[in-house]
Amino acid sequence: MSGRPSGRGLGLALGLACLSLVCALHARDWRTGDAPDTVVVQWRRGPDAAALAAEAARLGLGSGLGEAELHKALHKMAGAELKRSLDLIKVDIVRLPGAVGAAAVDRALAVYRASGLVATAGPDGPMRMAQAPSSYPPTDLDLAGGQQNLTDTAWMGAAAAYSAGTIKLQGQVTVALLDTGVNPGPPADTEFSQGQVLPDGVSYVEGVFSSADDNGHGTFCAGLLAAFPQNPSSPSGIYGTFLDPSLIRILPVKVLDSCGRGYTSNLTSGVVYAVGQGARVISMSIAVDEDDPALQSACEAARDAEVFLVAAAGNDAGATSYPAAYAQVLAVAALDHADMPASYSNSGKIDISAPGGDGLSPGYCPCNGPPANASAAQALVASCPYAIWSLATDYPGCPSDSPPNLACGLSLAYGYAAGSGTSFACPQVAAAAALLFSQDPGRQVSDVQQLLLRSAAATALGPGYNNRTGWGKLNLLGALVQTHAGAPASPLKVYNWPNPFSPAKDGLTTLTFFLPQPAAATLSVYDGAGELVRHWDLGAASTYAGMNQLTWDGRNGRGTMAANGAYLLVLQSGGARAVNRIGLLQ
């Protein structure tokens, strides 16, 4: 053999080199993936006249300028153009026209960070859909046997209870789906009822002006959330199982592009938009690696507005991704068919888990295009029994190969696809939350969260909390009929979260306590001198075995805000006692 490369090998090498060059030219990411020209600026709240005057003087401007004028002046000084203002959280998203590269962004950031009016300023960060790295091809075959997400007995029981009239639903609930968009499909073939997907969706993706799905991920999640089955063998969302699709409305908010990628400023904008549109639940099957103060502020504002936030934990088999990692967001992990945490599912700050499809090992359910014929398709379905099935629809797909989209480039008029990931566990929990709001529109976010967590069923890891499956597996029937099938016999325990907490910032702290059985209990907060600050006396009828929750706004019995400091939290029940400590800091 000669050592000289063959013509074929040379061609391959040149081809790879060209491909690399094209990829490099098309790459939008720079410096660990930050958007090249976008900066997110969060302003301080309520600067006083002295602060405004000082800033005006620092900038060499005349006195008497208002906040808006000073913001404009800073943008001008930074060479930035205002792209979008999010008044709810005092955030400006700005573009640096013509600026490509770290130096230009650093210069702009330096301008903002030097200002006393700016709370935080940073480059826009990347995010991606929380879909497992492989998925199954779509099919239009009978899938009744393959729906891991809908064969759970608690879900079937919930449907039966609804049919029997035990569960009554009464209110319409809007769920904002922050994803790649939603394609309701051709009207004649739709799995969503007319008007179920709201027309006032929005896109925050650069250059895309429609909330229609061009990837498939969003529609897949929407199907899990609310699809209405056209025939008994179709996959359907949780709401669909209740045969009354008029109760839920999906607000599509497109924050991910056709490749399932985007920037955190899109997500931040989407959360604020959803709050403004009156969404009661926000579902985010999205993973962000880096903490983003503006995104966290948006989540805090949403929670303050009594909007229920649910997010996928992420699929890196690592630490919980953002926004799920934020305290205001319910983090959802994925379970495999054996109710074990899925191999890809992140762990850490996990609140609850739901079926997410088994992890895919190489060669298992390969994503290699459509089945050649019906028998091949049947064989494929039979070989992938532990997947999550939902809707697939027309979409152009991603121009590049990474990450793979749902249908591996296959175009399909309308059909079903299977996939796995915490992305698909998330909308199931969002749907359950929507059902609980529908059951009683007067419920607060904390009520719904408590119902979901308290009713969660034991996973294969056992009863009680762990950082891989949270409080347990979503138990829809248990939450709706307020039974506590998964509640383990707990020893007396009490704590609060967040801790420390700021009444001004967090609003409330949740006092979580565990009882071995329903029993009369008292919760008391004492100050540093041992004086009583707040007291709750609970009868046996209002407590549960397992987890119970109350909230405290930081005020004493007279309604006076307690001072900063450490407080003693005491739980007493049946002669036993548990103690923890609250840090109040604002």
Partner 1 sequence: MSRRPHRARARSLCLLLTLAFLLLPAIRLCAADDGGEAESWTKLIIGGRDAALGGAAGALVGDPFAVQFNPALSLGLQSWHASTQTFLLPDGRNLEYAGLSGLAGGPTGMGWDIDYAQLNSPALELRVANTPQPAGTFGSGASLTRLGFAVWVLDQSLAVGLDLKFFSQALQADSAWGYSEDLGALYRPLGWLDLGCVLENPFSNVSWTTGLGENLPLEGRLSAVAYALTRRLDLGADCEFSAAQGPQVHLGLEGWPIAGILALRAGLDNGQWALGMGAATTVLGVRVSLDYALASDASAAADQFQNRISLDVGFTL
Question: Where does this chain bind partner 1 (CB under 8 A)?
Answer: 327, 331, 349-351, 449, 453, 464-465, 467, 470, 493, 495-500, 510, 512, 514, 524-535, 549, 556-558, 560-568, 570, 577, 579-583, 585-586
Name the minimum Å distance from CB 463 to partner 1.
Answer: 12
β-pairing verdict for 286-288 and 281-284 = unpaired
Nearest approach, Cβ of 167 to partner 1 (angstroms)?
Answer: 26
Question: Least distance to partner 1 from the beta carbon of 467, Å?
Answer: 7
Vertex 344 angle, CA 35 and 240, to 5°: 90
DSSP string, 376-418: HHHHHHHH-TTBEEEEEE-----SSSSS--TTTT---SEEEEE
Q: What is the distance between the alpha carbons of residues 340 and 355, in angstroms, rounded to a whole number?
A: 9
Name residue, tokens 């007067």. Answer: 442
Name which of 87 and 531 has its Cβ closer to partner 1.
Answer: 531
Minimum Å gap between C-beta 461 and partner 1 is: 14
Nearest distance from C-beta of residue 264 to partner 1, angstroms:
19
Min. distance of Cβ 466 from partner 1 in angstroms?
A: 9
452 three-state secondary structure: helix
Neighbouring CB atoms inside 10 A of 190's CB total: 19
DSSP, collapsed to helix, strand or coil, labels residue 251 as strand
Specify the residue, 30 or 495, whose C-beta has the smaller distance to partner 1. 495
Pick 136 or 567: Cβ nearer partner 1? 567
Q: What is the CA radius of gyration of the chain?
A: 26
- 204/465 with CB nearer partner 1: 465
User: Rounded to whole angstroms, how far apart are CA atoms 24 and 38?
Assistant: 19
The answer to whether the CB of 287 falls within 8 A of the CB of 128 is: yes
* Cβ closest to partner 1, residue 34 vs residue 351: 351
Separation of alpha carbons 571 and 130, rounded Å: 39
Q: How far is CA 205 from CA 253, 307, 409, 561, in A?
A: 10, 23, 21, 44
Q: Which is nearer to partner 1, 404 or 464 (CB)?
A: 464
Residue 447 CB, shortest distance to partner 1, in Å, is: 14
| Beta-bridge mates of residue 550 | 511
By beta-carbon proximity to partner 1, the closer residue of 467 and 483 is: 467
Report the nearest approach of partner 1 to the CB of residue 257 (Å). Answer: 30
Cα angle: 178, vertex 44, 551; to 5 degrees: 65
Q: Which residue, 76 or 505, has its beta carbon nearer to partner 1?
A: 505
The residues near 548 (Cβ < 8 Å, ≥ 6 apart) are 454, 512, 513, 514, 515, 521, 538
Tokens of 326: 């934020």
Q: Which is nearer to partner 1, 111 or 350 (CB)?
A: 350
The identity of residue 414, as a single letter, is Y
Q: Give the nearest distance from C-beta 211 to partner 1 in angstroms.
A: 31
* Amino acid letter, 319: A
